[in-house]
Each structure stands twice: as C-alpha cells, then as structure tokens.
Amino acid sequence: MKKLVYLLVLSVGFSFAQTTTKEKVKFSAKIENRNSDTLTVFGPNKFKQVIPINKKGVFEASFEVTDGLHQFSDGSESSMMYLRGGDDIKLTLDAKEFDETIVYTGKGSKESNFLAQKALSDEKFEMELEGLLEKDEATFKAALDKKAKEDLAKLESAGLDEKLVSALKPRIVQEGMMLAQYYNQKAAAKKVEGTAAPSFDYENHKGGKTKLEDLRGKYVYIDVWATWCGPCRAEIPHLKKIEEKYHGKNIEFVSISVDVDKDHEKWQKFVTEKQLGGIQLFADKNWMSDFIKAFGINSIPRFLLIDPTGKVVKADAPRPSSPLLVELLDGLVK
C-alpha cells in the first residue's frame, strides 16, 4: 500500500539548504525479486539518475548530487533516502516485501535507515486511520499530536545530520496539518451519505452523453481522476482487477476525468491506449463541474459509491488498491 504520509512528505518537496558538491555519491542496490532492470533516483533541482542493473545483478553508479532528500524507484515502488556528496551507500531489499526489507549500509547510511523506519511507522499509523476517522475530532487530533511528538522525539535523539533534522521538523508538523485536513474531508463526506447524489450529464468516450440517472438500478462506483495525476494512474491496474471481479454483477464502474478542455484529446488517447474499462466520462467544466463541486472534491483520485436508488453510500470510498473496497462491495453487490 502506498503510504499516505509518505505522499504528503513528497508533496512538500525534496530540497532544503542546498549544497551541491563535486564529491560524488557511490550508490549500489541489490534487490531480490526486482520489478525492473533499472533503478531511478530522483532529487532536488529536477535531478534524475537512471541506474541499469549490471552483470552481477547489482544496480551500481557514482554521481554528483545536491545534498538532501532523494527518492529511488524501481518502477513499481519507491522510497525516500538521504544523499550527500562523499556518501558510499549500499541498499538491499526484497521487492516482494518492499518497505519491510529496506536496509542501508556504508558511509552515510544512518539517515536513510531512519527514513525507511519512519516510512514503516507512518504506514502502520495509516492502517489505524480508518478506525480513527470514526472517532470524534478531539480523539483524532489527540492521536495526531501523539504521533507528532513521538516522531519529533525520535528525530532529535537519532544523531542525524543536522540539515536533515532541520528539514524534517517542519515536515512532521505539516504532516499533522495535512492529516487534519484529511479528517475534515472525510467528516464532510460522511455528512452527505444517505442523501440523494447530485446528477451529472457528461460526454462518454464511446459516444453521446451519460447521466447518473441512466445507471439507476445498479450500484455506481465512481473514480474522479485526470491523465496528469500520478496517484490516479497508479490505481488503474487495481481498478481493472476490481472491474473484473464484479463483472456481470449489480454494479457499474464510472471514471470521470477532470482534465481541462485543452487535454480532451489527450484523455481520449489515454483511455484508448490504456484500454480503460467501465464507463469513461469527461467532466464538462473540470474542477468547476457542478457534480465535482457538490462533493467538495479538491484533490484526486477520489472515489464515490452510489446505491441503486441514487443515494450516496460513500462520498469518500476506499481506493481500488485498498482491501476495504472488496470488503465493502462484497457486502452490497450481488
């Protein structure tokens, strides 16, 4: 599962108090059950280093960096690490248990190991979020405050590079603020559950237009997305599996693009080339479409579930990648 808090950290950006040195980083990675024959490292100032696997089965390279937070990706999964000129870092992991098996050794590895362990802690907290979202706001806020205090205490006692400590402190505070906003979004969504869903009448990729009323008599699982949205595209393979699992049952799968008008052709090609299933629709005014505004959607992907009578079951439904979606649909769809 891609970690929510990890994504929030990424949204803040990589760079801080930047220092670019001529001294190179030595980096190598040994990955069991790898997903790709290349490994890509991203960093400040649009840095990108593609590392092919060598004959020994190791990803190995030496390159100049801007000191700071970086991200490595094997094409399917990714994680944060900390690089400085002069570091000599060796990474090992098993891609079948990606986050759980990340271990760094060598000069400069302490900071990256800290980030890997924080990612695991964040993922555990995310697993608890669904339960916390059912609690009152005071209880949720208390849990956020407790996590922030624990994270700050670990950060300050770990003996890390002061630049990393200084960079992560405000990020930990911002994580709490963003998760509080996430709670407010969930709380607002719950208020409309059980009410009549607003309608839409949007262009269908296959031709003509489709209204929500056209789908009466079936559950409707709606994916609000855009072609430029990386997290949206990451859900597509999972959505295809969900569509296959419930094929022929009492449910329709609808994807509504909020791409702007100038990207209309891009949307058409994307749907065709990626062989997207379900009902593919194009919102009439992107983010300003009445249906989108009615649900207060200001970030994507966003998923909705409407019942056969047109009432809202979930205004912020589980993602296709979440096991909670199958649990929900199995209890409803026949």
Active site residues per annotation = 229, 232
The Cβ-side half-sphere exposure at 100, using a 13 Å CA radius, reads: 4
Q: For residues 97 and 31, what is the distance between their CA atoms, to the nearest angstrom? A: 11
Task: Name the 3-class secondary structure at 15.
Answer: coil
Query: Tell me, what amino acid is at 248?
Result: G
CA Rg value for the chain? 22
Q: For residues 132 and 143, what is the distance between their CA atoms, to the nearest angstrom? A: 8
Query: In this structure, what are the phi and psi dihedrals at residue 277, rounded to the nearest 5 degrees?
Result: -95, -165
Whether residue 28 contacts residue 56, with contact meaning beta carbons closer than 8 Å, is answered with: no
Nearest to 129 by CA among 183, 91, 167: 183
Whether residue 296 contacts residue 303, with contact meaning beta carbons closer than 8 Å, is answered with: no
**Please, where are the H alpha helices in 13-160?**
109-133, 137-157
Query: What number of helices (H) and strands (E) belong to the chain?
Result: 8, 15
DSSP assignment of 259-280: --GGGHHHHHHHHHHTT--SEE
Tokens representing 70?
Answer: 């970086």
Query: Tell me, what amino acid is at 101?
Result: T
Whether residue 305 contacts residue 328, with contact meaning beta carbons closer than 8 Å, is answered with: yes
Q: For residues 5 and 174, what is the distance between their CA atoms, to the nearest angstrom? A: 10
Q: For residues 12 and 327, what is the distance between their CA atoms, to the nearest angstrom? A: 33
DSSP letter for 96, please: G
Q: For residues 20 and 65, what is the distance between their CA atoms, to the nearest angstrom? A: 6
